[in-house]
Structure 1
Amino acid sequence: MDDKKNIILAVLLTAAILFGWPYIANHFFPAANPPATKIEGGKTQPLPKPGADPAADSPAAIRDRALVLKESPRVQIRTPKLTGSINLKGARIDDIVLPTYSETIAKNSPAVRLYSPSGTKDAFFAGFGWQGEGLKTPDANTVWTADRTELTPTSPVTLRWDNGAGQIFEIRFTVDQNYMITAQQKVSNSGAGAVSVKPYGYVSRMGIPHDPDTWTIHIGPMGVFNGAANYDVNYKDLDKGPSMQSFQSTGGWLGFTDKYWLSALIPDQKAAFAGQFRKGAGTQYQADYSLQSTVLAPGKAVTQTARLFVGAKEVKTLEAYQDAGVPLFDRAIDWGWFYWFEKPIFALLHWLFEHIGNFGVAIICLTFVVRALMFPVAQRQFASMAAMRAVQPKMKALQEKYKDDKPKLQQEMMELYKREKVNPLAGCLPIFIQIPIFFALYKVLQLTIEMRHQPFVLWIKDLSAPDPLHILNLFGLLPFTPPSFLAIGVLALLLGISMWLQFKLNPAQMDPMQQQIFSIMPWMMMFIMAPFAAGLLVYWITNNCLSMLQQWWLYKRHPVLSAAPAK
């Protein structure tokens, strides 16, 4: 009767995990990157990025981007990591492409586009301007005059506009070798009276990015205000209302963060500013800031300097800007609670990659490093397991003797542990240590652009995406793609087999219920882990293989573990 009860409980637990896990995972754990490849006819084929419209010439586009870009005079932007242009109508930075990153892994894939002008699909742009009293300020229709036709790291560009009433406005743009554009805003007053001016900057975007905002990874408006990173504002919050959320700060920054990309305004760090996140018509969103007003007397000029970051969230690049004075800029990557632990894991993994040249091999080497560091803990675990194994007959006798007196049983068990000098929780320590390591690697694979589109071997072309080789469609020979819940790939199967072999090496549990759970656990984990990034499965499979080798060696040192329990 007890055996049947245990089997029923095991089956129900399995069903609850298998069918309930997708709902839990969707809420707490963002899915891996969309598949970068698919297997057709036994061959690996690159997939287009979901929702991508690199040329903006599809029927879904509002207007053709190429035509819009030709409608107004422009200053070209040329740097090693940025290309595009500044629209002289409105002084908007509305055309930015990242030539070092591709939309997909295909050879002919277009480069990633971040900014696109108003009137095109997924319009996204930034600009700087002034509000004022007693004077005419430039607006979105103002056509500026540029002193150069191209902005490069060695050739700044100055835009100039005369309002015809005695005030001259200038924006001097400079750009570095990475992703930072500096805007020096200057107003000169040659009129007869004093005027009041207040500089501002803004980033405006249409639509919500395809990457979902989840419990563990923030996608959307964010900023650093008064020395603290703020991830509390979401697109849904602005949709539901209020349609504007404001912050006051001295120093800091604000903008929009995507999974791999960032567009951030960085005001003068010594000046107090008012920052806002706003919801406009439809799916238009804006992040902006404004400084305090300055009264400008006749014959005087005032200058304010701000910066715009528009580019990839490369860890070392963000850290370099942070060291140069942008507060908490590395928090543009939502490392989360385990920030202190995830960054060292990333640093070690990236260091291994730089010396090896393959991220998959680097993950395997990281696993070796982790197992080596945990080896002393594993030795203590096995010694504790051996001691627990030796006292199991006495534990069983106590359970039989005090089966009707639970308090007395607990008391006697504690006395037994104390007398035999064993700790029943010591064997759990390596598991608890593995949890933050696994979660840190999960976040690194999901968040860091350094892992994006990184190949391993054979059919694994993107370690941050799920395994594309599925068993149910006979490894791509059948013309259909299984749903994610049933997309059991080769890596997931290897994970299940390695866990099964690892559990087989363990001595049989005295509790039938525990033995039933251990027998089905590998196959549950196979289903659960199949949709995760391939890099995570590579880590776990390697860890299981090393665990088996370690168990085999430690069994030789503690033969009581592999022996049949005493009667």
Structure 2
Amino acid sequence: MRKKYLLLAGLLFTVAILSGCTEIDQPITSESEGIWNSYFVYPLSWLITYFAELFTSNYGLSIVIVTILIRLVLLPLNIKQLKSSQSMQDIQPELKKLQEKYSSKDANTQQKLQQETMALFQKHGVNPLAGCLPIFVQMPILIAMYHAIMRTEEISKGTFLWFELGSTDPILPIITAATTWLQQKLMMAGSSAAQNPQMMVMLWVMPIMIGTFAFFFPSALALYWVIGNFFMIAQTLFIRKPMMAKSANTGGVKK
């Protein structure tokens, strides 16, 4: 649940940053100065432009390709996140026993609970922070993508399928929300999160919030999010599901 709140906070932070960008009206070029421009925005702009030129200036298709490339680069981090999440799921029975054993709220008991919880994490190689790292890594990429889109004239004026990349679109946000919901639903399937009322609330809140954001930002950014969702859906089906099945066959926690 904490990761969902971190993602929510990260998205709100991203929106705040995007809304207050001071260089958004300045074209991005190889001459643009600053670490942000040189190492984040311009490389993304150059990469999108490079692939677009390979496909007769199809900047929408280029964004699809670049999104997949970014997701492939982040895949090892995401796999580590999935493994950590599955390990956390596997040790829930033992974690629950510890919480029952140290149910008293006094300081000494709670300190012992924390110590034994950390020992349990170390025993089974669980890193509770591993699931949060991909969230924070994606935030600067999302902001840089927004800059690359808005500060590269060819991208902002390009078209793809039925929409203009630099303008808002009434249909794409719905697809964004729907794919976000499906991705979350698949992630929750077969886990205890499906019985958690708070998680069920987030299952609907996150897609609605992200879909609403997509109504106010360029369609190219929504396209980036949609393709990322499809990638995560495939990742869930081909990596997480077999991982869960293997865990179930081995009895959950590895001895």
Normalising to structure 1: TM-score of the pair? Answer: 0.38
Q: Against the structure 1 CA distance between its residues 433 and 29, is the aligned structure 2 distance closer, same or farther, given a 3 Å change threshold?
A: closer
Deviation string 1:501-525 (CA, Å, 9 cap, x unpaired) is 1111113416542442234211121
Q: Secondary structure at the match of 2:126?
A: coil
Q: How does 1:43-122 map to 2 (within 5 A)?
A: none
User: Which residue does the alignment assign to 2:49?
Assistant: 350
Amino acid at match of 1:398: L
Q: CA deviation at 1:556?
A: 4.2
Amino acid at match of 1:348: L
User: Which residue does the alignment assign to 1:536?
Assistant: 221
Amino acid at match of 1:413: T
C-alpha distance in structure 2 between counterparts of 1:440 and 1:387, whole Å: 33
User: Which residue does the alignment assign to 1:492?
Assistant: 173
User: Which residue does the alignment assign to 1:29?
Assistant: 18
Q: Against the structure 1 CA distance between its residues 421 and 493, is the aligned structure 2 distance closer, same or farther, given a 3 Å change threshold?
A: same
User: Which residue does the alignment assign to 1:217?
Assistant: 22
Q: CA deviation at 1:494?
A: 0.5
Asked whether the equivalents of residues 51 and 62 of structure 2 are also in contact (C-alpha less than 8 Å), the reply is yes
Which one of 515, 527, 550 corresponds to residue 212 of structure 2?
A: 527
Which one of 499, 502, 507 corresponds to residue 183 of structure 2?
A: 502
Q: How many residues align?
A: 235
User: Which residue does the alignment assign to 2:167?
Assistant: 465
Q: CA deviation at 1:385?
A: 1.8
Asked whether the equivalents of residues 28 and 42 of structure 2 are also in contact (C-alpha less than 8 Å), the reply is no
Amino acid at match of 1:518: L
Q: Does 1:415 align with 2:115?
A: no
Asked whether the equivalents of residues 402 and 408 of structure 1 are also in contact (C-alpha less than 8 Å), the reply is yes
Amino acid at match of 1:379: I
Asked whether the equivalents of residues 44 and 144 of structure 2 are also in contact (C-alpha less than 8 Å), the reply is yes
Q: Against the structure 1 CA distance between its residues 314 and 450, is the aligned structure 2 distance closer, same or farther, given a 3 Å change threshold?
A: farther
Q: CA deviation at 1:369?
A: 0.8
User: Which residue does the alignment assign to 1:378?
Assistant: 78
Q: Secondary structure at the match of 2:115?
A: helix
Q: CA deviation at 1:343?
A: 1.8
Amino acid at match of 1:216: C
C-alpha distance in structure 1 between counterparts of 2:201 and 2:102, whole Å: 25
Q: How does 1:185-196 map to 2 (within 5 A)?
A: none
C-alpha distance in structure 2 between counterparts of 1:430 and 1:392, whole Å: 23
Q: Does 1:444 align with 2:148?
A: yes
Which one of 232, 237, 253 corresponds to residue 552 of structure 1?
A: 237
Amino acid at match of 1:438: L
Q: Against the structure 1 CA distance between its residues 365 and 343, is the aligned structure 2 distance closer, same or farther, given a 3 Å change threshold?
A: same
Q: How does 1:92-491 map to 2 (within 5 A)?
A: 215-218=20-23, 259=25, 313=27, 315=29, 319=30, 329-331=31-33, 337=36, 339-356=38-55, 357-405=57-105, 406-458=110-162, 460=163, 462-467=164-169, 489-491=170-172
Deviation string 1:429-466 (CA, Å, 9 cap, x unpaired) is 222222221111011112222323111122x1x21111
Deviation string 1:346-377 (CA, Å, 9 cap, x unpaired) is 11111111111211110000111112222222
Asked whether the equivalents of residues 216 and 336 of structure 1 are also in contact (C-alpha less than 8 Å), the reply is no
Q: Against the structure 1 CA distance between its residues 421 and 28, is the aligned structure 2 distance closer, same or farther, given a 3 Å change threshold?
A: closer
Q: In structure 1, list runs of 5 or more residues that go unmatched.
A: 1-12, 31-214, 220-258, 261-312, 320-328, 468-488
Asked whether the equivalents of residues 367 and 539 of structure 1 are also in contact (C-alpha less than 8 Å), the reply is yes
Amino acid at match of 2:78: A
Asked whether the equivalents of residues 28 and 37 of structure 2 are also in contact (C-alpha less than 8 Å), the reply is no
Q: CA deviation at 1:560?
A: 4.3
Q: Secondary structure at the match of 2:132?
A: helix
Deviation string 1:268-324 (CA, Å, 9 cap, x unpaired) is xxxxxxxxxxxxxxxxxxxxxxxxxxxxxxxxxxxxxxxxxxxxx462xxx4xxxxx
Q: Secondary structure at the match of 2:166?
A: coil
Which structure would you say has the larger RCO, counting Cα contacts within 8 Å and 6 or more residues apart?
2
Query: Normalized per residue, which structure has more helix?
Result: 2
Amino acid at match of 2:144: A
C-alpha distance in structure 2 between counterparts of 1:455 and 1:216, whole Å: 24
Q: CA deviation at 1:426?
A: 1.4
C-alpha distance in structure 2 between counterparts of 1:530 and 1:417, whole Å: 42
Deviation string 1:223-251 (CA, Å, 9 cap, x unpaired) is xxxxxxxxxxxxxxxxxxxxxxxxxxxxx
Query: Normalized per residue, which structure has more strand?
Result: 1
Larger radius of gyration: 1
Amino acid at match of 2:187: N
Q: Secondary structure at the match of 2:95?
A: helix
Q: Against the structure 1 CA distance between its residues 314 and 430, is the aligned structure 2 distance closer, same or farther, given a 3 Å change threshold?
A: closer
C-alpha distance in structure 2 between counterparts of 1:562 and 1:349, whole Å: 40
C-alpha distance in structure 2 between counterparts of 1:452 and 1:529, whole Å: 16
Which segments of structure 1 move beyond 4 Å, counting only runs of 4 or more? 560-563
Q: Against the structure 1 CA distance between its residues 398 and 426, is the aligned structure 2 distance closer, same or farther, given a 3 Å change threshold?
A: same
Asked whether the equivalents of residues 386 and 561 of structure 1 are also in contact (C-alpha less than 8 Å), the reply is no
C-alpha distance in structure 2 between counterparts of 1:524 and 1:397, whole Å: 36
Asked whether the equivalents of residues 166 and 220 of structure 2 are also in contact (C-alpha less than 8 Å), the reply is yes
Q: Secondary structure at the match of 1:426?
A: coil
Asked whether the equivalents of residues 389 and 560 of structure 1 are also in contact (C-alpha less than 8 Å), the reply is no
Asked whether the equivalents of residues 390 and 560 of structure 1 are also in contact (C-alpha less than 8 Å), the reply is no
Q: CA deviation at 1:495?
A: 0.7
C-alpha distance in structure 2 between counterparts of 1:518 and 1:561, whole Å: 26
Asked whether the equivalents of residues 555 and 561 of structure 1 are also in contact (C-alpha less than 8 Å), the reply is no
Asked whether the equivalents of residues 555 and 562 of structure 1 are also in contact (C-alpha less than 8 Å), the reply is no
Normalising to structure 2: TM-score of the pair? Answer: 0.80
Q: Secondary structure at the match of 2:159?
A: coil
Amino acid at match of 2:168: P
